[in-house]
Amino acid sequence: MTTAAQSERHGRLKNMYLEELDRQHLNRQERMKWVRYYNNDQFTLERRRKLESVGLSPASNNMVRPIIEYLKGTERRGRVDFTVAPRKDSKEARESAQAKQELMKWLDYTNQTGFERSLATDQAFITGLGWLEVATRQDRSGPKVVSMAEDWRNMLHDSRGITMDGDDWRYLFRTKVIDLDVAKAIFPNKAAELEKVAQKGAGAHLLGDWSGTSAILGGNDTASSEASTYFVGTDLYSTRDRVMLVECWTRDPVKRTDKHIGGLVDPVSWEINCTIITADDILVESKSPYKHGKFPFVPVWCYRDIDSGLPYSPIRDLVDVQDSLNSHLMRAKFLSHVNQIWIEAGAIGDVMTLEQIEKEMRDPMGIAIFADGAIANGRVKKTEHGGDVQKMMMLAQADMDTMHRMSGVTPENRETSADSLSGKSRALKAEQGAILTTAIFDNLLRARGLEGVLTLATAEQYMLHELAVPVSGKGPARKFSTLNQWDAEQGRFVNDMAADESEFQVGEQAWKQFHAEAMYDSLMQVLGQLASSAPQVVVALLDVVFEMHPTLPNKEKVLQRVRGATGMRDEDTELTPEQQAAMQQQQQVAQAQFQAQMAQLQATIREAEAKGEKLEAEAMAKRLESLYMAAQAAQVLAANPDIARAADELAKASGFKDIGSMAGLIDPAAAPQEQTMGQPVEQAQPLPELQQADGAMAGIETAAADGVQTV
């Protein structure tokens, strides 16, 4: 780039920086005020002097700090987990995703990223916006990829952007005030440019000619007082030579090579560039070293103003109420110590002067003497302010209740309520209060997702060397997994970070510790009720319930033991060869058990069918025997009709019921004929002797009608 082009770009970046600084001037002053209120510095020097002049002690009852501390504690107790998922359905992609997940968890532990994340979140709770930088480490003091918190006073973002994650921001600035020797070590070829803008002493001209250009930092008087408002680490009375550097990240348009443009939504392509400048020169300019195409900074928002697009914290709405609370408490304290009297001029007498009476009234052991009859006649009255003190305390309590309602951090959330409420009522009030802070933790979840995406993309780009990372166990039993390891047999890298792209997925765990534990307790009670009636359901759900607990110590080990005892497995992980073999063995055992049960069931069915056939055969035999006996009886009756009358009488005598007519069974021709004149009368045959069914079944086992006598 030519000198003229560099000068033009330097001027453009400088103007963008100063314009944005001017735009955010009032907001940044307010943010500094919120910091002071959090730190219990709620009175300016001028106000302190004014209060002391009227006898009021500038004391405050800081209700802002406990509210912010509750939010900070909730974030620390409810940190969410994450997973890395493959973007392709292949064994290699799943192996790569698993390796990246193990690597990112190791980076979190090694870099102590949880603490850095909490620092950025603390600044978001207090000032409305915190920052995390996801970068590559230039030294060898730790892993190549690192996430670090950045002070909000050093950052200046494009407030005209619409998105909260910076995808449509045109620029992002970071300011650093560092020692001159450090700057020379970083930029050894720019020693002359650095020495030209170096400053020392009071720091009135720390920003060089920028202090005269900016409407915010204009003049020597404002530069020294306002500089610390916008930049951290600016020791205004340092004797070291210092220089202010501005790191400018810009999103610049690039002409598209394709001809298809779908409207004005995305008519051009964008390129991220990084330029480091001083007040007068450009030190370095290059394209972004990161392939992810985003700014390497994660904005951690608390709230964002719809109108201005600038950040704010819950303290913004609490400042006025906090001032009212301080005023009421100071007034109540003042009135409770007031010792005033109303006195008539003639009530003093000659014993003591007015100055002596005033002195005695201020002394706790003082004795004031008045003229005779002055007290009895009401010429001297002591002013009582008990009612006014009570009113001030009631107003102060109203202010505290208002702050709780406005912030959403109620006494029930903090478990400091003294109300005699039931557990369910208290939990319901806590839930109602937590709804007001849902947007805050939703923004934190969004920032966590963006940080994970940047960290994963940076690791895929820069961590390509062979590396052993711990995956489980403690002490000597610690187990490791090797990344980017060359396998000669397979002819490829195992656990390759660059082979396949993966997707970062932030956990679904809510930032509400109290409610997560309440749901866990409720499910444990349900499992206790199901244990006697459906124990198989309890076994199937046990690992799921334990996984829901937000702060269970040694959670992974507990889940591993539970799943080992119940035979369940983690459905989000791929089966190992040992697990696959065990599962196949279990399936074979289950198949064998099923086949044995089916064989036993079939044998039972065949046995039942055989018994049924036997019973049917016996029933059929009984019916045939009865039919055979009936046929014999019918043949006997047909052959000997005279027996029928005797049989009928015997049947009636034994209680036999007639079930139908016997007509047609006996041949009418065989019936006895009436005797007529001139015919000879045949001699009647004698009746056979009655026997007890002797021979009734004779011939039943032969094909011939052996038991039936033919006529």
| pLDDT tens digit sequence for 642-655 | 777 777 776 677 66
The overall pTM is greater than 0.75:
no
pLDDT of the residue at 512:
46
Helix (H) or strand (E) holding 596: helix 577-639
| Cβ count within 10 A of residue 29 | 13
The CA distance from 173 to 158, in Å, is: 9
Which carries the bigger pLDDT value, residue 235 or residue 64? 64
Mean pLDDT is highest, among 52-61, 232-241, 637-646, for 52-61
Question: Do 343 and 288 fall into the same domain?
Answer: no
Question: Do 373 and 285 fall into the same domain?
Answer: no
Residue 181 lies in a domain: yes
SS3 labels along 423-490: HHHHHHHHHHHHHCCHHHHHHHHHHHHHHHHHHHHHHHHHCCCCEEEEEECCHHHCEEEEECEEECCC
Question: Do 183 and 285 fall into the same domain?
Answer: yes
Least confident of 418-427, 465-474, 543-552, 608-617: 418-427
pLDDT of the residue at 6:
86
- Residue 397 C-alpha from the chain's centroid: 34
54 pLDDT higher than 60: yes
414 pLDDT higher than 60: no
> Mean pLDDT over all residues of the chain?
77
| pLDDT tens digit sequence for 491-513 | 777 777 877 778 888 765 444 44
Least confident of 47-61, 62-76, 128-142: 47-61
| pLDDT tens digit sequence for 569-583 | 666 566 667 767 777
Token pair of 136, please? 């590559």
pLDDT of the residue at 553:
61
User: At 230, is the pLDDT very low, low, confident or very high (cuts 50, 70, 90)?
Assistant: very low
Question: Do 282 and 352 fall into the same domain?
Answer: no
| Cβ count within 10 A of residue 460 | 22
Residue 237 lies in a domain: yes
| pLDDT tens digit sequence for 106-156 | 899 889 999 999 999 999 999 999 999 999 987 777 888 999 999 999 999
Least confident of 285-294, 554-563, 627-636: 554-563
Check: CB of residue 368 under 8 Å from CB of residue 381.
no
Question: Do 228 and 283 fall into the same domain?
Answer: yes
- Burial of residue 441 (CB within 10 Å: 0-12, 13-18, 19+) is buried
Residue 67 lies in a domain: no
Residue 50 lies in a domain: no
Residue 185 lies in a domain: yes
Question: Do 209 and 272 fall into the same domain?
Answer: yes
Residue 632 lies in a domain: yes
Please count the structural domains in the chain: 3
Mean pLDDT is highest, among 21-30, 208-217, 626-635, 651-660, for 21-30
| pLDDT tens digit sequence for 85-105 | 888 888 888 888 888 888 888
515 pLDDT higher than 60: no
Token pair of 92, please? 């290699």
Strand ranges inside 53-196, DSSP E:
82-86, 129-136, 145-150, 155-157, 171-179
| Cβ count within 10 A of residue 558 | 15
Final residue of a domain: which of 630, 651, 672? 651
Question: Do 241 and 344 fall into the same domain?
Answer: no
Which residue, 31, 61, 62, 74, is CA-closest to 433? Answer: 74
Percent of the chain with pLDDT over 70: 74
pLDDT of the residue at 410:
67
Residue 215 lies in a domain: yes
668 pLDDT higher than 80: no
Query: What is the arithmetic mean of pLDDT over 658-662?
Result: 56
pLDDT of the residue at 147:
93
User: At 68, is the pLDDT very low, low, confident or very high (cuts 50, 70, 90)?
Assistant: very high
Percent of the chain with pLDDT over 90: 25
pLDDT of the residue at 551:
58
Which carries the bigger pLDDT value, residue 220 or residue 131? 131
pLDDT of the residue at 349:
75
pLDDT of the residue at 684:
46
Rounded to 10°, the helix 438-462/91-110 angle is 110
Range of the domain at 617: 580-651
User: At 412, is the pLDDT very low, low, confident or very high (cuts 50, 70, 90)?
Assistant: low
Final residue of a domain: which of 359, 382, 405? 382
Token pair of 446, please? 């969004």
Residue 165 lies in a domain: no
DSSP-derived pairing of the beta strands 467-472 and 479-483: antiparallel
Which carries the bigger pLDDT value, residue 96 or residue 316? 316
User: At 267, is the pLDDT very low, low, confident or very high (cuts 50, 70, 90)?
Assistant: low
The CA distance from 633 to 627, in Å, is: 10
Question: Do 287 and 374 fall into the same domain?
Answer: no
User: At 402, is the pLDDT very low, low, confident or very high (cuts 50, 70, 90)?
Assistant: confident
Least confident of 91-100, 236-245, 394-403, 611-620: 236-245
Which residue's structure tokens are 């002391």? 52
Question: Do 245 and 343 fall into the same domain?
Answer: no
Question: Do 273 and 179 fall into the same domain?
Answer: yes
